[in-house]
Amino acid sequence: MTEFTLDLNDDQRQVRDWLHGFAADVIRPAAAEWDEREETPWPVIQEAAKVGIYSLDFYAQQFFDPTGLGIPMAMEELFWGDAGIALSIVGTGLAAVGVLANGTEEQVGTWIPQMYGDADDVKLAAFCSSEPDAGSDVSAMRTRAVYDEAKDEWVLDGTKTWATNGGIANVHVVVAVVDPALGSKGHASFIVPPATPGLSQGQKFKKHGIRASHTAEVVLDGVRVPGHCLLGGKQKLDERLARARERAASGEGGGRVKNAAMATFEASRPAVGAMAVGTARAAYEVALDYATTRSQFGRPIIDNQGIAFQLADMRTRIDASRLLVWRASWMAATGKAFTSAEGSMSKLFASETAKQVTAQAVQILGGNGFTREYPVERMHRDAAIYTIFEGTSEIQRLVIARTLSGVQIR
């Protein structure tokens, strides 16, 4: 088993420095423009594809890093550059994780390459789980998938919302209800291939932050997908549903039946925490530089304890967040169970840290921090999403409390 360490090896340091250079030289100079335009930054994604960052090979190498630190390290550096552009670059990864978490080896090999394309023909993918009335409460999901046995096809109907790359993606991964009587345990994930009739983009959202990332509704109207597009296959689904029905009939509350959406979110929570660490670190560095160069009353403002202590707290929270993220990532990579909801802990603490640190950075910069002439204003807007998407902070606390107590707290 790989031992936990805080020292990156030579290969990891080389990748980190490479990503940091891309974030500094390519992402940051474009950040303000694409934030204002509120459009997908195709030129930056294409540049990332050309150098090998936006590629299946790169993410596979990081994902299978035996230490577990490849993905969080990559997320931190890219989001240090800019959260909106970085999310456009890595957004496809959530759909890929959905396939990895729920699909067969054949499905992984077939669909994930189509999610990325290549440097000459860049593709995107979207993971579609949330609905207008089903965000944190996945049991309220209404999108239905009905099996047409005669044609060996699944028919999907419903509306998804808050989908990164929704409607513009080449491949959509859609979570749908296959057995309403089982609540959240009656869900399954489906691949919707390119140009499938019946799938369309609904409303595109104008957002408070991460504006360079495309977020929209996805409408499914009689969408038919082949039977092999059910992630995991029908036999596995039937067996899972049968176990869930048996437990429901016997009144058993114990045991756990895998939920398609939750399996994806559990795998991605430490990575989201790493994104938050990157944004927080970026804001802290701007604030530190400003505090050491900005003078008031004849001296740098960092000479004031009110400023210096804030910076000390900011850095402490950032480092603590990174440690929680790295621990959870290492545990996942080495097969250690999250017996204390360590994945949720990392996402919760890092997300709250990003909101707090970016707010403090704005305060340290004063009036300048409130203008778009300085990047902390954008970073503060971007940071708000971390406590909301892929499980709100309230949901993370619920998961942690339930795990620690064994009580189904509501």
Active site residues: 390
CA distance 379 to 211: 11
Contacts 24+ apart (CB under 8 A), 18-22: 19/53, 19/73, 19/74, 19/77, 19/78, 20/77, 20/80, 22/48, 22/51, 22/53, 22/78, 22/81
Tokens in use for 83? Answer: 């959260």
- Alpha carbons within 13 A on the beta-carbon side of 78: 26
Distance from CA of residue 203 to its chain's centroid?
21
Nearest-CA neighbor of 178 among 100, 245, 112?
245
Tokens in use for 41? Answer: 């930054």
CA distance 161 to 174: 11
Which residues touch 15 (CB under 8 Å, ≥6 apart)?
62, 70, 73, 74
